[in-house]
A and B are shown apart, each in its own frame.
Chain A
């Protein structure tokens, strides 16, 4: 079947059908998060290698919990303890991991293209958990799931993404995903983070430096995390960012009255988002976290169980005949 996957490296090359398939596959796993007994044996005996060359808490915990709930074991490689510190190359580190026979490798790395690079060197499915400023596909999928659940159709949906667009892999993956479904995307942020090159991300994309204008008519507002080390004098101070770009209740009112607010986390209350907005009924920030588990379970299941080599047809398979 053409919509099935070997790796999940980026949103950009995926078709609408593939994305819809993954979002649909996440639905049973969303229900599963409400089960009293959250432990499946589906991937029992399988191992997921979590190779996080860059610090991460929430994405690593999300993948780790997703793997555990499917019954898979995990190998953990973390930046602090990584042999990279001792000078080993990315390729050698990952080949060493692969030699321990995992059934999938989840990789986060500071260099754009790292996940794809690795996918050419190993024989197991590779999942990109964020590579440099390139893509963060599972984040875009969980955002799409959250938007869809709040009964927003992507087609003609006005989506405003605010913050450091230039350095954001979350923004890139989201732009690729949502534009494939006909969403109207507005990027907003200080001019230094909003270069002209972003226009080539998707047709019809708008760059609007003034937040009030960017929010007008928005159905979905996505505030990005602001890395404080990127805010400094003389280009832009934190105070100035807050003044011009913080998502405040009065600014949210410029969007449609039923607009929803997303944030990929970790969020800094009082910097990119006002606590009142973060805790409002319009905020879907915690739903995003739960949906992240569902989408990551769906992807691990798809890449590990779905990529099994076809063997002799099982007798009692519900897909086979009785």
Chain B
């Protein structure tokens, strides 16, 4: 099986503008970002959370702590998944108790990653609220999970793959729809 690029979904400029819009929406809907903390889900949620926090700080003047969460230990597919799992650190240098937590990830798909991330958060304490922000919502949910802040909603088929490439990790900046071909 090969994976080929089908079409580009977002350019670097579109990603930038989308994140700016999301940052404004977040400030508006979190009471001026009071008690807000962002947690990026490893891996591409991390740079997205950092960029959003930067914009939110600029417009709200609020201190926005940012953490990172590795969900490996909370996955429900450890006994069936193909690649062997490697655990990485979660760095959440603030108490999550009574915080207004915003989870940040690149793509919302089945919802299982978000379920795992919430379990990970509960081990650290009891947030007042957890909401979700994603760059792309591609549908095909397997759990009752929805995002509060969505960069773009995209219709996809099961065979398609959404690939988000970010400068911090991939040295390029764009979002693509890929296709599996036999």
Cross-chain contact B83 with A28 (CB below 8 angstroms): no
Cross-chain contact A308 with B107 (CB below 8 angstroms): no
Query: With A and B bound together, what is the CA distance between A306 and B73 in angstroms?
Result: 11
Cross-chain contact A321 with B178 (CB below 8 angstroms): yes
Residues of B within 8 A of A311 (CB): 80-82
Mask of A297-322 contacts with B, CB within 8 angstroms, 1/0? 01001000111101111111111111
Which residue from B42, B79, B83, B164 sits with its C-beta under 8 Å from A317? B83
Cross-chain contact B87 with A25 (CB below 8 angstroms): yes
> How far does the Cβ of B152 sit from chain A's closest Cβ, in whole Å?
13
Cross-chain contact A313 with B84 (CB below 8 angstroms): no
Residues of A within 8 A of B94 (CB): none
Query: With A and B bound together, what is the CA distance between A1 and B85 in angstroms?
Result: 11
Cross-chain contact A322 with B138 (CB below 8 angstroms): yes
Q: Which segment of B11-19, B52-60, B116-124 sits at the interface?
A: B116-124
- Chain B residues with a Cβ closer than 8 Å to the other chain, count: 45
Residues of B within 8 A of A276 (CB): none
- Interfacial residues of chain B within 77-115, with CB under 8 A of chain A in the complex: 77-90, 106-107, 109-113
Question: Is residue A243 within 8 Å, beta carbon to beta carbon, of the partner chain?
Answer: no
Which residue from B70, B110, B122, B140 sits with its C-beta under 8 Å from A28? B70
Cross-chain contact A42 with B73 (CB below 8 angstroms): yes
Which residue from A4, A28, A316, A321 sits with its C-beta under 8 Å from B89? A28
Query: With A and B bound together, what is the CA distance between A306 and B124 in angstroms?
Result: 25
> How far does the Cβ of B136 sit from chain A's closest Cβ, in whole Å?
8
Residues of A within 8 A of B88 (CB): 28
Residues of B within 8 A of A229 (CB): none
Q: Which residues of B contact A (CB under 8 A)?
A: 3, 41-43, 70-75, 77-90, 106-107, 109-113, 119, 122-125, 136, 138, 140, 142, 161-164, 178
Can you list 9 contacts pairing A with B, beta carbon distance less than 8 Å? A40-B123, A42-B73, A301-B87, A308-B79, A310-B83, A319-B81, A320-B81, A321-B163, A322-B136
